[in-house]
Amino acid sequence: MMRTHLLLISVILGIVLSGCVIRIVDKHPKKQVESEYTEPSFAEQVARQPEGTSNFYADSPIGPIMVETGTTYISGLGSQCRSARGTMETKSILLAVCKVNGAWRFIPTIFDSGAR
């Protein structure tokens, strides 16, 4: 009779402990796989655009704009840059994109090029 009680207690204890282990394993959050593709920024797209070509950008930092790329150059701070001319409706502006700390950035010009 004592053996039966010990066997019953062992079986119950085994079932309870296996249930605890299952709950602990299930509580771990599952990693979500994110898409590895990210849309290039406006500056990256302008930097990659071949010299002398035009492209329309609906989501630029300054609104919808047609960009014609110019030449690449090294800025006074030593950054690789690309000049461009942007046309927004009736206004034409000069702009630049420069590689800063390994990432392309849109650099607003400090001179107002005015309407052309």
d(CA 107, CA 100) in angstroms, rounded, equals 10
Residues 2-42 have pLDDT tens digits of: 667 565 566 565 565 565 555 555 555 566 656 677 889 99
The count of domains in the chain is: 1
- Please report which helix (H) or strand (E) contains residue 87, including its range: strand 80-88
Q: What are 67-106's pLDDT values in tens digits?
A: 999 999 999 999 999 999 999 988 999 999 999 999 999 9
Q: Which two tokens stand for residue 113?
A: 């090029």
The number of CA neighbours under 13 Å toward the Cβ of 92 is: 5
- In this structure, is residue 8 part of a structural domain? no
Are the C-beta atoms of residues 115 and 90 closer than 8 Å to each other?
yes
Domain with 77 in it: 42-107
Work out whether the CA dihedral 100, 104, 108, 113 comes out positive or negative: positive
Tokens representing 31 are 């990693």
Q: Is 52 a member of any domain?
A: yes
